[in-house]
Amino acid sequence: MNKTEQIYKEILKRSVVNSKDLNYISKQVLGRKDIKYLYWKYIYRLIKDGKIGKIKRGLYFGIPFDQLDEKFEVDRYILANKIENGYALGYHSALELHGAAYSAFNNIFILIKKPHRFRPFRFQNITYVPVINKHHNTHLITINYKKKEVIVTDPPRTFVECLSRVDLSGGWEECLKSLANLRGIEVSDVKEVLKLYQNKTLELKTGYVLELLSKKSPYYGHIKYDELKLLKPLSDWIPVYIDRNVPSKLNKKWGLYIPEGFAEYLRGI
């Protein structure tokens, strides 16, 4: 096996490679870290031969030998987890990986630190969106996905963050129907995540939705109201809207103006 074939084999093994992977492959196959030489001597040739494809600068994918004559589709989650400086997948993308998403989306949300932000880009009809999040490296889990490791926010963090950024969760109907399918939620874990945010409005939204789901979803039937009491508003709390753009009614228990027909989103789940 010559060096070009070895490099092709190493890229296929990883499905998608970034600059860090290419440096490692260069060291393993060529005996030195020289990504520029690797590109012009080998990567460029493999691209011309249709054996690997370019996603963007420093990001490539391998095309299996038996699919060279077809339009090969790169797995969105494996690609997203290989974007340099990407830490984890979150929001609706996390719901998808946890098997809870009600609908499929064409956006992938990647949690990053501000210094490592990148421009959103589109590839094979999927848009990869960076989301600056100062809690990028906590409450994460690594899942085995198609024999690759993908990092994603854990269920309690996914629950809280979907409520904090409903715009990244598909809107209220998609968010609620998806959260209703999210397994493994314990109130104690959710409270740990809420401590990171120190945001009373988010606490109230979380408490309200947990109480609602405990009545509507079989995955939340174990949650008791007594567990949610600490999330309730204080006596001097001024009620707030969870969505100012739609007609709403005051829920005094939770100190929130809830959109009319909100619970109807969960009908038939």
pLDDT in tens, the chain (269 residues): 899 999 999 999 999 999 999 999 999 999 988 889 999 999 999 999 999 999 999 999 999 988 886 789 999 999 999 987 668 999 999 999 999 999 999 999 999 988 888 999 999 999 999 999 888 789 999 999 999 999 999 999 999 999 999 999 999 999 999 999 999 999 999 999 999 999 999 999 999 999 999 999 999 999 998 999 989 998 899 999 999 999 999 999 999 999 999 989 888 66
State the sign of the Cα–Cα–Cα–Cα dihedral 79, 83, 89, 93.
negative
The H-assigned helical ranges of the chain are 3-14, 19-25, 35-38, 44-48, 76-82, 92-97, 155-164, 171-179, 187-197, 200-216, 225-228
Q: Rounded to an integer, what distance in angstroms lies between the CA atom of residue 60 and that of residue 249?
A: 51
Q: Which residue has the tokens 């001024």?
A: 238
pTM: 0.93
CATH number 2.60.40.1120 given to 3-67: no
Reported as half-sphere exposure (CB side, CA atoms, 13 A), residue 114 has a value of 1
Spell out the domain ranges in the chain.
3-67, 76-266
